Amino acid sequence: MKKLLVAALAGALLAPVAIAQIVPNPPMAAQRPHSVKAPFGATRNDEYYWLRDDTRKNPEMLAYLAAENAYADAVLAPGKGLADTVYGEIVSHIKQDDSSVPVLRHGYYYYRRFDTGADYAITARRKGSMDAPEEVIFDGPAMARGKGFFQIGGYDVSRDNRYIAYAEDTVGRRQYVMRIKDLQTGATLADTIPNMQGSPVWSDDGKSLYYVDKDPVTLLSKRIKVHAVGTPASADKTVYSEADDSFYIGIGRTTDDKFICIAMESTVSSEAKCTSAARPGAFTSLAARQRDFEYNADHVGGRWIIRTNWNAKNWKLMTVPDAHAAHGRAMWKDLVPVDEKVFIEDFQPFNGFIAIEERSGGNKRIRILTDAGKSSFLDADEPAYTMGLTGNAEPDTAWVRYDYDSLVTPTTTYETNVQTGERRTLKVQPVPGYDPSKYVTERVWAPARDGTLIPVSLVYAKGFRKDGSAAMLQEAYGSYGSSSDPGFSTLNPSLLDRGMVYAIAHIRGGQEMGRAWYDDGHLLHKKNSFTDFIDVTRYLVKQGYAAPGRVAALGGSAGGLLMGAVANMAPQDYGVIVAQVPFVDVVTTMLDASIPLTTNEYDEWGNPAQKPFYDYMLSYSPYDNVSHQAYPAMYVGTGLWDSQVQYYEPAKWVARLRARAIPGKPLVFRVNMEAGHGGKSGRFERYKQEAEWTAFMLMQLGVAPTVQ
């Protein structure tokens, strides 16, 4: 049986043309009773639990996903031309033969460059000067050829500059394989280390590599191993094993290259263990772990500099000389005291000064603090912007390098001389055909229902009228203390030139306004994130930035949880919801410690094995709260090989929406069969995916298909 799908392109900006397409009925997954039990006795029925297949080989499950993709193709067919147009617009704003700003490391300038039309970058270096001959390290296009997915993770070059150890993923599940390349001969050594993550780290003598070994089932970072070059992986020795499944672990070097450090981190606790890079031995803790005590440390100039929340909710900087470092935190001294209005997010030590990333008033700025005690801020000229330290690999310099961008200003890389104040522009992100003077960005403060003022970053075309007629895309994340910075996007001109407004709601759950902002948006306060988002929408509509019903909501991963909750709580406020790799089956996932990464999340969401958390999580879990109501048009995306949010969460959610929701608006479920959490690999592939959901959004909101 067939039915006629009519894309009702309503709105005064559209020509009165209806586009019709014959499409099949949407796929309806089979319902099979399955009890999900909590330790204290609560039981829920999960009729789509069968869609979970950890091997990803179940023919019935794969057939269902294929049917959803076929249905998506049919529903999206009327917008294919518009998607192609949007894709062309995005790509037109990208300088295809672009290259990064070179970074100096141990006498070589490292950089990445793209050839015209290439999906993958070439990573190269030049010795001593950018005028020296180019040495290609990774030929991305050649390495990716014939692979459905390809990504190079972290890498490290041996201190004699001859060998590079790197992590490679050809599946999309972030289970990397480590390989070693001889940069003199170009040959890849026989050494192969499976199931690792992050960047490997060389010992100073270039004979050993330290790396993180993952649990193959839970994908947790469990061990630090050391590999002797030229020996089999089976002979690698474990130098550290993490017994607490709530901790992630990683490994790296200090800025001055003198120490190799293991970083251990949970949501509410952290620890660092370090050893000499020149003479590796036992890893010694800088300060013992303790619940609700967090810190990270770096080393330059004979002292440790520590960023910590010890008696400092918004964090502070402390320091300890080498001679006293072994005595724990009792010997630490304040360097930058805590400030109730300023959140210290990160820092970079140099010989003679420290560059500090701070959040204040919803923006991220950079402060310079010299060893002599002089403090100053780097300039910013817009109401909503972001700054970030980048490419500062050598500590013995007076120049600090950073990126600056906003919703209007393309990413610009500067370096400033701390001694003279001179500022140099190293690169402005080239955006062909883009004129920043055509657009306006502003920061407004939307009142939440409890009276809290939520910062909102906005951008629109110059001449925009707040008359309540426009369409708007509103985005947010609001989890893990991860802040949503107002950065430049090559997609935005396509929206703004069609008369749309783009808004970022800096909701609670991030740290835009400090640590309290995060604390008030997770665990038993998580619903604040959802109501903040809804209240921002209603405020912006009331202020005339958008028309009622012409608002699209966008979020991914934990932001996809936000989308699912908003869809259940306020479907009438949105014309479209776009949920990418959404974490929507909160209770079932958090009850199952075998699911990758679950145990790391208890202090973020709560442990539903405990009834108070179970009840609270159940009250907002998107999958558990699907009801017989009208939902907005929805575009849901996932990747079969996603290791962060398993594909079956959105699959089950979509299946339940199809069965329970009042039929009406289209529901599209796009499954990338060769991708993980970040979507398909390749520079242009992600823009194709972006263009697809954008076209769907534009049509559903009644936005003109052509630029005004």
pLDDT of 546-595, one tens digit each? Answer: 999 999 999 999 999 999 999 999 999 999 999 999 999 999 999 998 88
pLDDT of amino acid 680: 58
Amino acid in the structure at residue 594: S
476/379 Cα distance (integer angstroms): 26
**455 pLDDT band (50/70/90 cuts)?**
very high
Instruction: Say if residue 123's pLDDT is above 50.
Output: yes
Dihedral, CA atoms, 424, 253, 364, 306, nearest 10 degrees? -120
| Strand, helix or coil for residue 389 | strand
246-257: pLDDT as tens digits: 899 999 999 999
Amino acid in the structure at residue 344: I
458/472 Cα distance (integer angstroms): 10
Instruction: Say if residue 9's pLDDT is above 50.
Output: no
Please state the rounded mean pLDDT for residues 337-364: 96
Structure tokens given for 519:
């604390």
Determine how β-strand 188-202 pairs with β-strand 176-182.
antiparallel
pLDDT of amino acid 21: 55
**677 pLDDT band (50/70/90 cuts)?**
low
635 and 693 Cβ atoms separated by less than 8 Å: yes
Q: Which residues pair with 496 in a beta bridge?
A: none
**675 pLDDT band (50/70/90 cuts)?**
low
Amino acid in the structure at residue 504: I
179 versus 681: the higher-pLDDT residue is 179
7 and 697 Cβ atoms separated by less than 8 Å: no
CA 113 remoteness from chain centre: 23
Structure tokens given for 463:
């001449």
DSSP conformation letters of 6-22: EE---STTS-S--EEEE
566 and 537 Cβ atoms separated by less than 8 Å: no
pLDDT of amino acid 528: 98
pLDDT of amino acid 147: 85
pLDDT of amino acid 679: 57
135-166: pLDDT as tens digits: 999 999 999 898 888 888 889 999 999 999 99
pLDDT of amino acid 157: 96
Please state the rounded mean pLDDT for residues 400-411: 97
pLDDT of amino acid 663: 93
Please state the rounded mean pLDDT for residues 194-204: 90
533/454 Cα distance (integer angstroms): 9
375/336 Cα distance (integer angstroms): 10
Q: Report CA torsion sign: 572, 576, 580, 581.
A: positive
Angle at 351 between CA 349 and CA 165, to 5 degrees: 60
Structure tokens given for 293:
């005590």
pLDDT of amino acid 667: 98
**Predicted model pTM:** 0.91
- Which of the residue ranges 91-100, 207-216, 647-656 has the most confident prediction, judged by mean pLDDT? 647-656
- Mean residue pLDDT of the chain comes to 92
Instruction: Say if residue 172's pLDDT is above 90.
Output: no
DSSP conformation letters of 220-289: -EEEEEEEETTS-GGGPEEEEE---TT-EEEEEE-TTS-EEEEEEE-SS-EEEEEEESSS----EESS--
Q: HSE-up of 537 (CA within 13 Å, CB side)?
A: 32
pLDDT of amino acid 640: 93
Point out the residues that are catalytic: 557, 642, 677
Percent of the chain residues past pLDDT 90, beyond the cut: 84
For 423-462, b where at least 16 C-beta lie within 10 A, e where not — what string?
eeebbebebeebeeeebbbebbebebeeebebbbbbbbbe
Report the candidate in 329, 391, 339, 394 with the shortest Cα–Cα distance to residue 361. 339
Dihedral, CA atoms, 232, 151, 345, 298, nearest 10 degrees? 30
pLDDT of amino acid 256: 96
**617 pLDDT band (50/70/90 cuts)?**
very high
Amino acid in the structure at residue 256: D
pLDDT of amino acid 644: 79
pLDDT of amino acid 18: 37
67-117: pLDDT as tens digits: 999 999 999 999 999 999 999 999 999 998 999 999 999 999 999 999 988
Please state the rounded mean pLDDT for residues 627-635: 98
CB atoms within 10 A of CB 75: 22
CATH of domain 1-92+589-596+607-708: 3.40.50.1820
DSSP conformation letters of 56-99: S--HHHHHHHHHHHHHHHHHHGGGHHHHHHHHHHHHHTS-TT-B
316/227 Cα distance (integer angstroms): 37
